[in-house]
Amino acid sequence: MKIAFFDAKEYDKREFDKQNKGWEIEYYETKLRPQTAHLAHGCEAVCAFVNDRIDGDTIAVLKKEGVKLLAMRCAGYNNVDLAAAKEARIKVVRVPAYSPHAVAEHAMAMLLTLNRKIHRAYIRTRDFNFSLSGLEGFVLHGKTAGVIGTGKIGGAFVDICQGFGMKMLCYDPYPTGGYRYVPLPQLFEESDVISLHCPLTPETRHIVNERSIRKMKKGAFLINTSRGGLIESEALLSGLAGGKLGGACLDVYEEEANYFYEDNSQQGMADEKLALLISRPNVILTSHQAYFTREALSEIAAATLENIRLFFEEKRTPNEVSCAK
C-alpha cells in the first residue's frame, strides 16, 4: 500500500517514519496541485496539508491516478473541494484535534509579545540600546477579550485569558454553554482583544472587514491563528494605518499558500499587502506555526496513520469529512 505525501518537511518525515508500521510512503517536497497530482501515480492514498490546492482539477488527476483516500494531516479542510472528492469517490479524512492548547498558547504568546513589545525590546537590547521609548504596553487583567468560535482551540484560549483575569465575550452560532455569548456586533464593539477561532467557510470569509473594524474599539488588538481568509487584508491594513486597530497578531494570511513554509529571503516579497503588514511595528506575523509543537506533530502522525489504517481495513473512521458514495 503506497501513500504519496505532499509538502513534506524534514520534521514531518521524522515523525511519520517513527510511527509508520509498514506503509510505503513517498515523500514529495512540492505542494499538491493540479500540476503535481500525477506524482500520486500508483498510490491509493494521498497525504496533504493546509496549503495544498485540492480543487476540482487536482482531484480529477488524483482520480485518474487511482487515489481512493485523501488524508489531510490538519484540522481545516477549506482547501479541499469536497463535492469534487465525493464525485470522484475519494474519501477525505482529517485530524480534527491535535493539541488545541498548542494553538491557543501561540495566540497568547503573540498577544503578549505584541502588547509588551518584546519583539522590539529583544532587538534593542542586543544592540545595548536600553531605552524604553515606544515600548509601553497595557495590562491584560480586567480587559475584555472577544473570542469568535468557541470550539476546541477557542475554548482553550478562553481558559488562558481567564487565567490572566480578562473578561470574556464569545460568539459562536453553535454555543456550547459555559461561556458568555453575545451577538457579533456587540463583541466587536466591546472587546479590547479579538481572537478568531472559527473555521473558514462561506459565512466566515472576511468576518473581519471594513464594517466590522469600524465597530471596534480604538486601539483594539486582533489575533488570527485560524485561517487567513477570515480577515479582509486591505481593511486590516487601513485599520492599522488609521490607528483604529492597536495591533494585529497573525499566524495566517489570506494568500499564504504562495509563501508560507518556504524560505523567500532571496526573492524579496512580491505580495505588497504581506510586505506592508510585516513592515508594521504593531504587527507580528508567524508562518502558520501555531500548531508546531512536538506534541502536535506526534498527534498528527498518529491520527493520520490511524485514519489510513481504518480506511484500508474498510472500517469507519470518525474523522471522515466526506463520504464517497
Catalytic positions, written as ranges: 227, 256, 288
Site string for ligand NAI, 137-176 (x = CB under 6 A): -----------xxxxxxx----------------xxxx--
Of 163 and 202, nearer to ligand NAI (C-beta) is: 202
* 34 in contact with ligand NAI (CB under 6 A): no
CB atoms under 10 Å from CB of 258, counted, come to 13
Question: Binding to ligand NAI (CB under 6 A): which residues in 70-99?
Answer: 75-76, 97
Give the nearest distance from C-beta 301 to ligand NAI in angstroms. Answer: 15
Backbone phi, psi, residue 132, to 5° = -100, -5
* 251 in contact with ligand NAI (CB under 6 A): yes
Using alpha carbons, select from 322, 323, 321, 324 the residue that is nearest to residue 74. 321
- Indicate the SS3 state at residue 321: strand
Give the nearest distance from C-beta 148 to ligand NAI in angstroms. Answer: 5
Of 203 and 313, nearer to ligand NAI (C-beta) is: 203
Q: Are 235 and 213 in contact (CB under 8 A)?
A: yes
* 203 in contact with ligand NAI (CB under 6 A): yes
Cell of 154: 477557542
Q: Are 194 and 188 in contact (CB under 8 A)?
A: yes
Of 59, 158, 290, 305, the one binding ligand NAI (CB under 6 A) is 290
Of 44 and 254, nearer to ligand NAI (C-beta) is: 254
Q: Alpha-carbon distance 322 to 91, whole Å? A: 6
Beta bridge partners of 249: 223, 284
Q: What is the DSSP letter of 80?
A: B
Of 6, 23, 221, 291, the one binding ligand NAI (CB under 6 A) is 291
Question: Binding to ligand NAI (CB under 6 A): which residues in 173-192?
Answer: 173-174
Q: Are 140 and 166 in contact (CB under 8 A)?
A: yes
Q: Are 216 and 188 in contact (CB under 8 A)?
A: yes
Binding site residues, ligand NAI, CB under 6 A? 75-76, 97, 100, 103, 148-154, 171-174, 197-200, 203-204, 225-227, 251-252, 288, 290-291
